[in-house]
Structure 1
Amino acid sequence: MIGVKHVVRTALAAALGMGLGLSAAYAETKIGIAQFGKHPQLDETVTAFKAELVKLGIADAVFDELQVNFDATLIPQMVTKLASANPKLILAVTTPVAQGARQIVGNTGTPVVFAAVTDPVVAKLTPSWEAGDKNMTGASDLQDVNSVVKFIKQLLPDAKRLAYLYNPGEDNDVAVLKLIKEAAAAQGLTVVEVGLDNTNDIPMRVSSLAGKADVIYVPASNLVQPAVPAVAAAALSINIPIVNASAQAVRDGLVAAAFEVSYTKVGQNAAKLAAEIIAGKSVATLAPIKPSYADHTALINEKVLEKAGHKAPDSFKDCGCFVK
């Protein structure tokens, strides 16, 4: 079922706050927001997107928000409904939603700004990292994979085998796999691939890593991230520490560490592109934005790390990145 539409009207409040007349208050900029489902990282992206637009001067924005509870079969219906309101643009959150939006509104003239898409080139959303498509560009959540692997090796210097959990059917996950292999080789790590096409297989697949992997990396996968509790339970039973793409699981005491992209920054990057489109700039001239190293943060849970039989090296002593 498509989630309830939330229409956020900021125009009147903004106009009254600036002492403008009512005629200005109703000069709305309609923006549709298509979200795959409710999830902390995706919610953070959308919240930051809306807040940043206001900071950039789009104070008359009206947001129509829909989500489909991660049911991909409902994406066409969601996008069609948002497009029927003739918005100035649509924010498409995650790769499946962006791909659905491209199919439905890609040639209608309605611009689409994607967010939380790992590799828009692999997903065939943009022709390259240097330019947008005719009606689509956006903000990637592509992690600096070299930095992720360096962090893993620094945290677990004796590790030799890195297990990577992913969905072979999701372009994002496959794109990261290629990058992980390249970065791991540079750090003397062998990658152990663990493909998952449904969450029911997780306990068995993770348990099968006993004696085959020294650390598990869980990417920002739409399939695997919601199942992190199951991944964590299975990994703990065989004493393999997890480094996750999301820090929330570290705070929740589920995994040992995380090196993550700031989804606030992803939302802000998407808003910057949206503001330029609203100002009249050609979408095709706007290159998709990828996070820089500075847009990442590390977090370590010492208790969980110790349960897996490891201690944080002294090099992390003054990092300020431990869960309190």
Structure 2
Amino acid sequence: MKRMLSFIGLLLVFLGFAFFQEGGVKSNKPQAVKKPTIGILQTMSHPALDDIRRGTIDQLRKRGFVNGKTATIDFKNAEGDQSNLKSIAERFQNEGTDLNIGIATPAAQAIANTDKTTPLILGAISNPKSAGLVANNAHPGHNITGVSNRTPTADQLKLIREIMPDVKVLGVMYTSSDPSAQAEVKVVRKIAPKYGFTIKEFTVSNSNDVDQVAQTMARQVKAVYVPTDNTIASAMQTLVKNTNAAKIPVFPPAGTMVEDGGLATYGINQYKLGVVTGNMAADVLEGKSKPATTPIKIVAKGDLILNQKEADLLGIKIPAKLQKEAQQKGEVYK
């Protein structure tokens, strides 16, 4: 009888252990979750896009998505090659990434054209609707949402007028195939007369054209405006080499391009754009939001950034009120 009772006791202990192991009673131990794979595709290398990428990855890390530990971040740079963009987007799809991030319009378009289901976060796209990425900014639809860096075009033209009061013809240089640049130039055409400018457009097909086109432009205008354009940004030093030789200032859209030789801009902080991108990606990964119903976040207010060294080189006097504004709220390169 004692043997039977001992056997029954052991059996109860075993069954009780199994019950707890199988989750019959909830444990306080955190449940294991799948480590997500995040694909990041960057169109090409230049400081502005590199800052967006750094901000994105840093913010993902702060939100708990640490590469190699709690997430796999598969970063690829297409180096401006269209075939690379397509093949990398296809690789992301074939390998089954859990979320993708496209930095700059061509990268986002390549992913969007390849994968219609995996969440895609736009990493600072100037005009997502014009680029065919979303139905509209308020209700993107499908698998896409993200960040739009809207260049404050009116503020830029007003800035040029304050610094260059006598300039009548404004050169505008951009890539003919870049949808973001095309959209901004369309706005410039419309509002330039309000600020007393006649614009003269100069287009390039790729970065190899920049040197020759810049030489031609420098003979015909007294100031140059550059919209958001990754090709021009990657060849900024080539552009500035030619405009400096002719003592002509360049007004670009990003602070990194001012640092590379532009004169002034109302620039949006590219790293902060990356931070916003990283937050939106983390929200989707954590199930806090869905791309289709998450509005595009538009960042359109920039800070004044001046290149005093460039002003001195070109013999241009920056108005005192602008110098004060840049020192207090923006940045001055000396």
TM-score (norm 2): 0.82
Question: Is residue 314 of structure 1 aligned with residue 324 of structure 2?
Answer: no
Structure 2 counterpart SS, 1:208: helix
2:205 to 197, 211, 224: 197
Structure 2 counterpart SS, 1:311: coil
Tell which deviates more after alignment, 128-137 or 192-201: 192-201
- Residues in 2 aligned to 1:150 and 1:55: alpha-carbon distance in whole angstroms: 38
What residue is the counterpart of 1:68 in the other structure? 78
The one-letter code sitting in structure 1 at the alignment partner of 2:280 is L
What residue is the counterpart of 1:279 in the other structure? 286
Instruction: Give 1:209 deviation, angstroms.
Output: 3.2
- Residues in 1 aligned to 2:140 and 2:291: alpha-carbon distance in whole angstroms: 6
C-alpha distance after superposition, 1:233-266 (max 9, x if no partner): 11122221111223234334x2322332211122
1:77 to 87, 90, 115: 87
Preserved CA contact (<8 Å) 2:309 2:333? no
What residue is the counterpart of 1:221 in the other structure? 229
The one-letter code sitting in structure 2 at the alignment partner of 1:96 is P
What residue is the counterpart of 1:38 in the other structure? 45
Instruction: Give 1:232 deviation, angstroms.
Output: 0.8
- With over 3 angstroms needed to count, the CA separation of the structure-2 counterparts of 1:200 and 1:85, relative to structure 1, is closer
Q: Which has the higher helix share?
A: 2
Q: What stretches of structure 2 of length at least 5 have no aligned partner?
A: 1-27
Structure 2 counterpart SS, 1:290: strand
1:302 to 304, 308, 328: 308
- Residues in 2 aligned to 1:39 and 1:317: alpha-carbon distance in whole angstroms: 27
Preserved CA contact (<8 Å) 1:115 1:140? yes
Question: Is residue 183 of structure 1 aligned with residue 191 of structure 2?
Answer: yes
Question: Is residue 90 of structure 1 aligned with residue 100 of structure 2?
Answer: yes
Structure 1 counterpart SS, 2:266: strand
What residue is the counterpart of 1:14 in the other structure? none
Instruction: Give 1:153 deviation, angstroms.
Output: 1.9
1:268 to 248, 268, 275: 275
1:104 to 95, 114, 136: 114
Q: What stretches of structure 1 of length at least 5 have no aligned partner?
A: 1-19
- Residues in 2 aligned to 1:148 and 1:170: alpha-carbon distance in whole angstroms: 20
- Residues in 1 aligned to 2:168 and 2:29: alpha-carbon distance in whole angstroms: 66
- Residues in 2 aligned to 1:205 and 1:64: alpha-carbon distance in whole angstroms: 37
- With over 3 angstroms needed to count, the CA separation of the structure-2 counterparts of 1:198 and 1:68, relative to structure 1, is closer
Instruction: Give 1:86 deviation, angstroms.
Output: 2.0
Instruction: Give 1:211 deviation, angstroms.
Output: 6.0
Instruction: Give 1:66 deviation, angstroms.
Output: 1.4
TM-score (norm 1): 0.84
Question: Is residue 247 of structure 1 aligned with residue 234 of structure 2?
Answer: no
- Residues in 2 aligned to 1:282 and 1:317: alpha-carbon distance in whole angstroms: 43
- Residues in 2 aligned to 1:242 and 1:35: alpha-carbon distance in whole angstroms: 25
The one-letter code sitting in structure 2 at the alignment partner of 1:126 is V
- With over 3 angstroms needed to count, the CA separation of the structure-2 counterparts of 1:199 and 1:79, relative to structure 1, is closer
Structure 2 counterpart SS, 1:223: helix
Structure 2 counterpart SS, 1:192: strand
Instruction: Report sequence identity in percent.
Output: 23
Preserved CA contact (<8 Å) 1:32 1:83? no
Instruction: Give 1:121 deviation, angstroms.
Output: 0.7
- Residues in 2 aligned to 1:251 and 1:195: alpha-carbon distance in whole angstroms: 23
The one-letter code sitting in structure 2 at the alignment partner of 1:121 is K
Residue correspondences, number:
299
- Residues in 1 aligned to 2:106 and 2:257: alpha-carbon distance in whole angstroms: 24
